Amino acid sequence: MAETKLTMDKIVNLCKTRGFVYPGSDIYGGFANTWDFGPVGVELKNNVKRSWWKRFVQESPDTYGVDAAILMNPRVWEASGHVQSFGDPKMDCKNCKQRFRADTLIEAHSKGTVAAEAMTDEEMEAYIAEHDVKCPHCGVRNWTPIRKFNPMFVTSRGTLESDADKVYLRPETCQGEYVNFLNVQRTARAKVPFAIAQIGKSFRNEITPGNFLFRTVEFEQMELQMFCREEQSMDIYADYKAKALKYIEDLGLKAENLRYHDHDKLAHYAKAACDIQYNFPMGWQELNGIHHRGVWDLSRHQEYSGKSMIYIDPFTNEKYIPNVIEYSIGADRLTLALLCAAYEEQALDGGETRVVMHFHPAIAPYKVAILPLQKNLAESAKAVYAKLSKKFMCDYDEAGSIGKRYRRQDEIGTPFCVTVDYDTATDGCVTVRDRDSMEQIRIKIDEVIPYVDERIQFN
């Protein structure tokens, strides 16, 4: 197997040419930090979201799903602290006028070895001066002091664009889980400990260059809040650290490219916080977070809404505001990590190289590609496609040599290619080729569905 260095450019290029992800508003020259998922990418990301929902909602009897509105009462963002203090530390380059986040400049300069989120603004300014951190755009060091920048997008409802009509595009999905704590607890008759989960879009006016899907202005989060008693909260926190790691390893991220990063500096209300970092082509970066948030969120919503968030234990009659353990992961950021992990340039006998995406079959965009050996077998191949596509997302391809068609499917990570040949009409069999081993077996058409089904499960 050839060892080649993976770069983000290779991933971006494959994504664009194979229909995973295109630049946003491409025909207008793009739109910074926005990306559009193409026919293959939308399947991949949907499968990633499904795998998370299956693991953390479907298979977790204590977890309830919601889909809350993106636009929320503006008081929510006062209660959460986003209006007053959700501020990124920005610096402008006085030479080329580009804007950057001081913490990401430091993390990029130190290749992820310095945890800038634990630094004060003064410490970050001192680090940048001491280590001569230059503008990544023009290469000059001529920075403004750090200023705070609120990355919430503001819009307005109604016809007047006054302050009274101001609403925010949510910068995180979890507030939709906190504000539904009482609704879910009552309607699901949920008993503490229980969790509320959702998957949805969030928006942040990010000023830092995004590294493809890593940091975008519009992205999807998969978030879960576990409401629990204080005495059990540290065990539940440890449990989610383990569950979060297991989930991404099960999806195909290698243990050697994953590490815990426990936070040294905590928010005043937090009891513990940890990121799981992935070794992306640009270095170690946060993939997801697990936070012990104490009673902060529910207490703040109680204060700002005037509604009691007190839970009454049905067995002991004890009354208390539950602690919250939050587990949060970006669907786009995870998709990027999985694209990086899946990519391989493989040297084949005869000097040929194939690019193959080794996705876990459960998240592969297409499970099966149906290929007639020759175009005149199209009719019987289409009949196989009609049968299999009732069960799985399938691709159909009759253009070019069979070898080229296999390569195309390897590049989009299709785990199985089913070839219909001249014997199919007489023996009722097709050839099934495995993406990773390239081995081929011949089985009855009726056996294809159970054969594939058994191999694409995510457990």
47 binds ligand GAP (CB under 6 A): no
- Binding of ligand GAP at residue 76 (CB under 6 A)? no
Q: Under the criterion CB under 6 A, does residue 285 sit at the interface with ligand GAP?
A: no
- 325 or 368: whose CB is closer to ligand GAP? 325
Judged by CB under 6 A, the residue of 215, 300, 301, 435 near ligand GAP is 215
Residues in contact with ligand GAP, shown as a per-residue x/- string from 124 to 163 under the rule CB under 6 A: ----------------------------------------
Could you tell me which of 334, 341, 336 has the C-alpha nearest to residue 289? Answer: 334
Joined together, the tokens standing for residue 362 give 């459960």
Q: Which of 200, 289, 361, 372: binder of ligand GAP (CB under 6 A)?
A: 289
d(CA 152, CA 207): 12
Query: Between residues 67 and 318, which has the closer beta carbon with respect to ligand GAP?
Result: 67
User: Which residues 318-377 are close enough to bind ligand GAP by CB under 6 A?
Assistant: 328-330, 332-333
For strands 311-312 and 21-23, give the pairing: unpaired
Closest-by-Cβ residue to ligand GAP is 330
Q: 153 or 451: whose CB is closer to ligand GAP? A: 153
Within 8 A by CB and 6+ apart from 234, the residues are 271, 272, 292
Decide: is 219 part of the binding site for ligand GAP (CB under 6 A): yes
**Interface of this chain with ligand GAP, residues 165 to 204, rule: CB under 6 A:** 172, 174, 204
Query: CB of 210: closest distance to ligand GAP in angstroms?
Result: 7
Q: Measure CA of the first residue to CA of the last residue in the chain; give whole Å.
A: 29
* Total residues at interface with ligand GAP (CB under 6 A): 18
Which of 107, 177, 286, 395 binds ligand GAP (CB under 6 A)? It is 286
Q: Is 112 in the site for ligand GAP (CB under 6 A)?
A: no
Q: What whole-number distance in Å separates Cα of residue 349 and Cα of residue 2?
A: 12
Q: How far is the CB of 137 from ligand GAP (least distance, A)?
A: 19
When the beta carbons of 124 and 174 are compared against ligand GAP, the nearer one is 174
Q: What b/e string do you get for 81-109 counting C-beta neighbours within 10 Å, with b at 16 or more?
A: ebbeebebbbbbbeeeeeebbbbbbbbbb
| Contact indicator for 227, 323 with CB cutoff of 8 Å | yes
Query: Which C-beta is closer to ligand GAP: that of 333 or that of 360?
Result: 333
**Strand pairing report for 416-420 and 311-312:** unpaired
Specify the residue, 90 or 204, whose C-beta has the smaller distance to ligand GAP: 204
Total residue count of the chain as it appears in this document: 459
Helix axes 102-109, 121-130, angle to 10 degrees: 40
Question: Residue 328 Cβ, how far from ligand GAP at the closest point, in Å?
Answer: 4
CB 412 within 8 A of CB 397: no
- Exposed/middle/buried for residue 115 (C-beta within 10 Å: 0-12, 13-18, 19+): middle
Does 221 interact with ligand GAP (rule: CB under 6 A)? yes
User: By the criterion CB under 6 A, which residues form the site for ligand GAP?
Assistant: 172, 174, 204, 206, 215-216, 219, 221, 223, 286-289, 328-330, 332-333
